[in-house]
Amino acid sequence: MPRPKHRSRSFRKVFRKVPGGRTVLHLQKQKPKMAHCAQCGAVLKGMLRKRASLLRNVSKTKKRVSRPYGGNLCSRCMRLKMVEKARV
């Protein structure tokens, strides 16, 4: 019987092979959604898809792309924004 707190659909089931040879069911929290562009909603590339608590120890370069608006806008939307700024 799983623990009462694990009796929920919010946990995903992961089968792990333990050193003893058995396969054990681990219950983990669900992965967060992929990061999306704030303007067009496209999936952002180069972003880690992990829970915030795990991202705390990850370097900044692994969490976002190194360009203005990196990690917030996709490259296409960023370009449009830059063109707008240059024309104004």
Partner 1 sequence: MMDVGRVCVKIAGRDAGGKCVVVDVLDNHYVLIDGQVRRRKCNVAHLEPTAEMIKIRKNAAHGTIVEEFKKMGIEIPERKSKPKTERPKKAHGQGKKEKKAAAEKPKKTKKAVKEEGIESKVGAKTEEAPAKAGKKNK
Query: What is the contact surface with partner 1 in residues (CB under 8 A)?
Result: 66-68, 75, 78-79, 82-83, 85-87
Count CB neighbours of 74 within 10 A: 22
Q: Which is nearer to partner 1, 54 or 84 (CB)?
A: 84
Specify whether the CB–CB gap between 34 and 47 falls below 8 A.
Answer: yes
Specify whether the CB–CB gap between 10 and 30 falls below 8 A.
Answer: yes
In whole angstroms, the minimum distance from the beta carbon of 39 to partner 1 comes to 15
Q: Which is nearer to partner 1, 52 or 86 (CB)?
A: 86
In whole angstroms, the minimum distance from the beta carbon of 44 to partner 1 comes to 16
Q: Which is nearer to partner 1, 18 or 88 (CB)?
A: 88
Continuous segment of H or E residues that includes residue 79: helix 75-87
In whole angstroms, the minimum distance from the beta carbon of 71 to partner 1 comes to 13
> How many angstroms separate the CA atoms of 33 and 50, rounded?
9
